[in-house]
Amino acid sequence: MELRATLVAAAVKGGVHGVAAHIDDHVGDLHSYLSCVLDAQDLPLGVKRVIWSGMVHRATRFAAAMDATRTSHALTLISAVETDRYVNHLARLVFQAQKPPPPAAWMPSVDTCVIARMSVPTCNVSTGKRAVDVDLTKPSSPSTPSSKRIKLDDDHDSGIPAAPLDPIDPIDDITYLAMKMDKRASASQILALVSSIKSTPSSSTTSDIASRCDAILHAASSLLQLPEYCSTPYLELLCSTLALTSLSDDAVLVLTTKLVEAKWTSYDTAVVLESTLLVRVQAATSAIPRSLLKALQVVATSLPHIAIDRILVPVLTSATANAPQCEAMTRLVRDGLGPSLTPLIVTRLIAANVLHSPHDRVLLVVQQIFNVKAPLAQDAIDLVVHALARAVSASPATTTASIKFASVLFTVVTKYAALCVRHRDALLAIATKCTSSMAKTALRAIDKLA
């Protein structure tokens, strides 16, 4: 009921933008989100259209989270209970992960309820030089070219070729960001912040670090207040421009704490965390400092879905995962996430094919997750057994000889024996293909399954 109430409030107060932000906040549990939407057939038609329009703009997230069976079932259900053709069309867009049609064809001619669309930037955000955006719908001003301007009216699609615009000089990223922020921040302020970050000594005082982190979040908040739909690419550009990777470890901890307290949407929060905390962890080749471990725990405690999807899974599935990184992930799971989130952790790691990893240190982290013996449902163990079988078939040269792979198999069988009984034959087939010394121990444990 709480999810339904917040979703309706987001649709009514924030429109399509509000629904998209609401989805970002629940990106870790889209199955429950979809169930809530499918059960909301009693809502007014306009509200339902707003909700499904917002879901279209997050279609790739639903496509990544749902399998073919789930999407087929959802489409069948929505077509059976929903009489509005427009909602059915939006549902097909969501589950086919297609882009929404162009504005001219957005609304069927028979529909009278027009829902505001999100405006998508027309330029690709990238580093380096870029051309200034020109708004053709506004009259010419001293800051924009006035010649060769076309008029946009109901006949602009009549096939008449538009006159080319005058070439515009490219501008640098800092000026571009300042223009996007309008009067909220100037190029000189951004440039001063960049210089301040790059020149920060490692011995900066606590007050200096805190004020610098406040300035970073203030600049980022200015971008998030933009009326445009895709403010996230600008946020990514700002993080890159500010060179946040050069922040000290203590500054990363302070920035992470303040970022969590700011209560942004999960997606925007993850953008900053990936540019600071995740980059620092993935670059580690020796023991990770205590301040970064504390930052990981802050994220795990307050934003567990981000900790799992944007930190734990990327690190463990990286081809360059090393011992210090895996040790940090062990602490993240043990001290931050805790046993209650083990089902979600297992589901995410299995979906990312972590059992295919050639690194024993990664498999050791997986073994320790199962070793806690947190409550798991039968379908979770079903997924694990199928993933073990796929790993043996997909990369037999590495998995069959791996002691840690056999250790994962042994741990699953001994900790969840009652749930493994139905898979006894499949587990025997997996164990017989393993050649490590631990495989014999796993075989004996499987033989004892009643």
Q: Provide the domain limits for residue 90.
A: 2-105
273: nearest Cα among 288, 290, 286, 260: 260
Q: Answer yes or no: is 217 within a domain.
A: no
Residue 425: predicted pLDDT = 92
Of 50, 72, 105, the position where a domain reaches its end is 105
402 within domain boundaries: yes
Last residue of a domain, one of 105, 131, 164: 105
Is 404 inside any structural domain? Answer: yes
**In the prediction, which pLDDT does 330 show?**
92
User: Residue 115 — pLDDT band, cuts 50, 70, 90?
Assistant: very low
pLDDT over 80 (residue 449): yes
Number of helices (H) and strands (E) in the chain: give both, helices first: 25, 0
Residue 132 pLDDT: 45
pLDDT of residue 124: 44
* Domain contains 78: yes
Average pLDDT, the chain: 76
Considering the domain boundaries, does residue 442 fall inside one?
Answer: yes
Residue 310 has pLDDT above 70, yes or no: yes
Q: What is the distance between the alpha carbons of residues 344 and 183, in angstroms, rounded to a whole number? A: 43
User: Which has the closest alpha carbon to 391: 359, 424, 343?
Assistant: 359
CA distance 402 to 362: 12
Question: Of 256, 262, 257, 250, nearest to 209 (Cα)?
Answer: 250
Domain count, the chain: 2
pLDDT digits (tens, 9 = 90+) for 316-342: 998 888 999 999 999 999 888 888 889
Query: Within a domain: residue 117?
Result: no
Q: 49 pLDDT band (50/70/90 cuts)?
A: confident
Calpha distance 98→91 (Å, rounded): 10
The CB-side HSE value for 157 (13 A sphere, CA atoms) comes to 5
What pTM does this model have? 0.60
Q: Is 241 domain-assigned?
A: no
* pLDDT digits 0-9 by tens, 236-275: 777 877 778 778 888 899 999 999 998 887 878 888 898 8
Range 381-402 average pLDDT:
88
* Domain endpoint, select from 105, 125, 146: 105
CA-CA distance, 79 to 87, in Å (whole number)?
Answer: 9
Report yes or no on 17 lying in a domain.
yes
Q: Which range among 93-97, 109-113, 200-204 shows the weakest confidence by mean pLDDT? A: 109-113
Q: What is the pLDDT of residue 177?
A: 56
